[in-house]
Amino acid sequence: MKLIKTLSICALSASMMFASSSLVTKAKNSGLKAIPESQLELLKLIDDKNDPITDEKVELGKKLYFEPRISKSGIISCNTCHNLGLGGADGVAAAVGHKWTANPHHLNSPTVYNSVFFDAQFWDGRSEHLADQAQGPVQAGPEMASPKGLVEKRINSIPEYVEEFKKAYGDNVKIDFDKITSTIAIFEKTLNTPSKFDDFLNGNPNALNKAEKKGLNTFIDKGCASCHNGIALGGTMQPFETVAKYSFAKVGDFKGDKNGMAKTPTLRNITETAPYFHNGQVWSLTKAVKEMGSTQLGIKISDSEAKEIVTFLKALKGRKPTITYPQLPESTLDTPRPDFN
């Protein structure tokens, strides 16, 4: 009797492992990819041999990421709209910037976590990489409103920053706008968040529970992975409103790029980044799933199917890197004063 019970358990275990292996294969064939477990393999994806990631650059980039003095007013930092304690976003429908101005196009702040894996940055995909993206919000009037020269004067007026740049790049470093923003981007490259979904794709069949596996299967079968794929489960340019009109299309004036394409948002940490869509009009993840079914896929996703998919999406909440809020160096008498105009 014990032998029969043992054999039954072994058979069940083998069956479950086969099913998990089959689902992993299905996921990978659908274009889903894991964040590599190996730091060496991860570096191959995120590092730039012409400007390699180092501890000194990352630490300096972190300070600059939290540095409000690179904004014209001296009170807005990158972390204001891409709050690392709030899933890398800001939790409001439209980003708010200089002079308490809401984004004039009613655009929502996308998460900075895992953005190194995006093929395109900004909702219209106008930047291909993080270093270029970092320059936009700093200069944009409704965001940080800082001219390049002002940013350079503020940072160069602070001796501690000058020394840190030398330590990171060498004594002959030119601390200009490009160097400042590219250093921020190096810090942002480290903000990746592996989850139990990655553990599952990387070979741990028990990383996802039965309900999460069922949700992943439904996610694939319904066609969600046709846009939400790759390591980021998004981050690529895709046509929007392919089948039907988005329910809140009239909020804001965003039309995508010149070809009507829009950046597909990442689904990683999606439970932390409401409200959803480019104009932040949907707060319920279940509603967002059903909206995409009708708008993008031309199908009706049932309540039970949406619940299954959301169960899987919850498994994409990743392990965040530990971020200690930095102590920023003191201003000097030469540091340009805050400007609220």
| 3-class SS letters over 61-103 | HHHHHCCHHHCCCCCCCHHHHCECCCCCECCCCCCEEHHHEEC
Q: Catalytic pick from 59, 143, 212, 272?
A: 143
10 annotated as ligand-binding: no
Question: What is 140-205 written as a DSSP string?
Answer: -TTTT---HHHHHHHHHT-HHHHHHHHHHH-TT----HHHHHHHHHHHHHT-----HHHHHHTT-T
252 near 107, Cβ under 8 Å? Answer: yes
Which of the 8 DSSP states describes residue 111? P
35 near 194, Cβ under 8 Å? Answer: yes
User: Does residue 143 have an active-site annotation?
Assistant: yes
Distance CA 218, CA 308 (A): 7
Structural tokens at position 260: 């009507």
Structural tokens at position 70: 């690179």
Neighbour-count burial of 179, counting CB atoms closer than 10 A to its CB (0-12 exposed, 13-18 middle, 19+ buried): middle
Structural tokens at position 286: 């279940």
Neighbour-count burial of 328, counting CB atoms closer than 10 A to its CB (0-12 exposed, 13-18 middle, 19+ buried): middle
* Whole-angstrom Cα Rg for the chain: 22
81 annotated as ligand-binding: yes
66 closest CA partner among 179, 192, 149, 188: 188
105 annotated as ligand-binding: no
* Residue stretches of the annotated binding site: 78, 81-82, 98, 224, 227-228, 292
* Residue stretches of the annotated binding site for heme c: 78, 81-82, 98, 224, 227-228, 292
Which positions are catalytic?
143
